[in-house]
């Protein structure tokens, strides 16, 4: 279990543990110890020293985020302060948080309690999208069990620390993964991103100090607190600490979720998933989900962490590795992504609202063999004018255009072949 702390206690059938059984496995030991031995400031320092980076996609240092929240909470004075847990998980190719919520809800709840204690939050709200109904059931039961055991409520374990926790069922939209849109969704508003500053730590949920953390991020916290920052760092194969949940999907023999040391090369992860399906060869892979740039065979040895993948020209994102073999049409794959992002746009700004459906239409025409050189030129125009970060209100447009830009650069010959009505690698 020490090599797979996040998933090692999951039962084979993914049935969530009852509270008593979870305690026998060491559940809530980190919380009990922290409330006795550590101040909130000390807890922030431990997480800072661990180097834990947010596992929701951006990779921001968790300890730094917590420290900003602590300062804002102290400045805000009396009143509610919130920790929001992002369990929306709608990045194409990503399915890691689902396992953690369904099979290990008490692990997440303990991590959220520790985070709330560290940042000074008075209430935790876990947002789960509607499709994750088994996760919602598991979390609701686990919260009730924790309350019955006296681990939620007023004066927890005689520490003077009090905390409320509840689940928020969301209809689910990709844009809800953006933290200010998530806050709007919890408030019952249309889930669209908000202007920053002020940042959520200053004015978030209902205008109060708020921090938003991902499910996987918080699930790592009890292990860091229990075993120490140095232990967490040593789990990794690079300078970025811990293990990582990698979802391997696409053209592999055994699509699956793998917990492996941070920095495990993509080639090793693909082999753990049974290798390329039917003995085919690799064409390309996206290392961090549908909004990341393509890498190819020469990049299989790149350590899968935030810094190394960025240096290779892509991003780790959620660690969702999507594999294309040499019979997978990249034009079709990019078109599927474009249709998804066009549908999921909140419609707030013109580049996303009007640009993404246009991009999807161009890609569909090319994939069907009805495209023209002008269509490819228009795709380049979208990449140049609308693709860079900052050209739209949030980064959805920039993320959606990333595989388009990468595909045009890496597979220009395949795009050109589609103008002649055929695909040299297939239509799947």
- Per-residue pLDDT at 351: 87
Average pLDDT on 115-123 reads 96
What domains can you pick out in the chain, each with its CATH number?
19-234 (3.40.50.11540), 243-325 (3.10.20.600), 330-418 (1.20.1440.230)
Burial class (CB in 10 A: 0-12, 13-18, 19+), 378: middle
Q: How many other C-beta atoms are found inside a 10 Å radius of the C-beta of residue 389?
A: 12
With H, G, I as helix, E, B as strand and everything else as coil, classify residue 120: coil
Structure tokens of 84?
A: 């929001």
State residue 390's pLDDT score.
82
Termini Cα distance of the chain: 39
CA pair distance 362, 379, nearest whole angstrom: 7
Measured between alpha carbons, how far is 310 from 313 in angstroms, rounded to an integer?
A: 5
Per-residue pLDDT at 2: 66
Q: What are the Cα distances from residue 266, in Å, to 6, 405, 422?
A: 20, 22, 31
Mean pLDDT of the chain: 94
Q: What are phi and psi of 78, to 5 degrees?
A: -65, 150
The pLDDT value given to residue 1 = 53
Q: State the burial class of residue 197 (Cβ atoms within 10 Å of its Cβ: 0-12, 13-18, 19+).
A: exposed
Bridge partners of 273, per DSSP, are none
Q: pTM for the complete prediction? A: 0.95
Instruction: Flag whether pLDDT at 427 surpasses 60.
Output: no
Give yes or no for a cis peptide into 133 (omega within 30° of 0): no
Q: What is the pLDDT of residues 130-169, one digit of tens each?
A: 999 999 999 999 999 999 999 999 999 999 999 999 999 9
Residue 75 has a pLDDT of 84
Q: Is residue 43 helix, strand or coil?
A: helix
């Amino acid at each position: 279990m020490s090599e797979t702390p996040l998933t090692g206690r999951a039962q084979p059938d993914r049935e969530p543990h009852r509270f008593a059984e979870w305690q026998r496995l060491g559940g809530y030991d980190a919380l009990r110890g922290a409330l006795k031995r550590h101040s909130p400031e000390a807890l922030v320092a431990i997480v800072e020293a661990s180097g834990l980076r947010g596992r929701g996609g951006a990779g921001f240092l968790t300890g730094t985020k917590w420290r900003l929240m602590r300062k804002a909470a102290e400045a805000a004075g009396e009143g509610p302060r919130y920790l929001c847990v992002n369990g929306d998980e709608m990045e194409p190719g990503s399915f890691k948080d689902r396992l953690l919520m369904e099979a290990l809800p008490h692990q997440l709840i303990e991590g959220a309690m520790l985070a709330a204690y560290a940042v000074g939050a008075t209430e935790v709200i876990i947002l789960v999208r509607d499709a994750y109904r088994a996760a919602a059931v598991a979390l609701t039961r686990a919260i009730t069990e924790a309350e019955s055991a006296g681990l939620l409520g007023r004066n927890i374990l005689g520490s003077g620390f009090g905390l409320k926790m509840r689940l928020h069922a969301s209809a689910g939209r990709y844009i809800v993964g953006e933290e200010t849109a998530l806050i709007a969704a919890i408030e019952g508003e249309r889930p669209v991103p908000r202007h920053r500053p002020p940042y959520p730590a200053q004015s978030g949920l209902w205008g109060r100090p708020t921090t938003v953390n991902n499910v996987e991020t918080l699930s790592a916290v009890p292990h860091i607190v229990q075993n120490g920052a140095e232990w967490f760092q040593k789990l990794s194969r690079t300078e970025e600490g811990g293990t990582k949940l990698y979802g391997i999907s696409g053209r592999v023999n055994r699509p699956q979720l793998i917990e492996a040391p941070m920095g495990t090369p993509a080639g090793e992860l693909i082999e753990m998933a049974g290798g390329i399906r039917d003995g085919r060869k690799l064409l390309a892979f996206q290392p961090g989900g549908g909004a990341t740039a393509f890498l190819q065979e020469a990049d299989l040895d790149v350590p899968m962490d935030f810094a190394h993948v960025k240096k290779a020209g892509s991003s780790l994102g959620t660690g969702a590795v999507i594999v294309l073999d040499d019979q997978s049409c990249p034009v079709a794959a990019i078109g599927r992504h474009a249709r998804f992002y066009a549908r999921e746009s909140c419609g707030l700004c013109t580049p996303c609202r009007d640009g993404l459906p246009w991009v999807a239409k161009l890609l569909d025409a090319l994939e069907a063999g009805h495209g023209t050189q002008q269509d490819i030129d228009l795709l380049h125009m979208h990449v140049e004018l609308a693709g860079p970060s900052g050209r739209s209100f949030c980064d959805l447009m920039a993320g959606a255009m990333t595989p388009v830009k990468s595909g045009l650069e890496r597979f220009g010959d395949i795009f050109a072949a589609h103008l002649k009505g055929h695909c040299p690698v297939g239509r799947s």
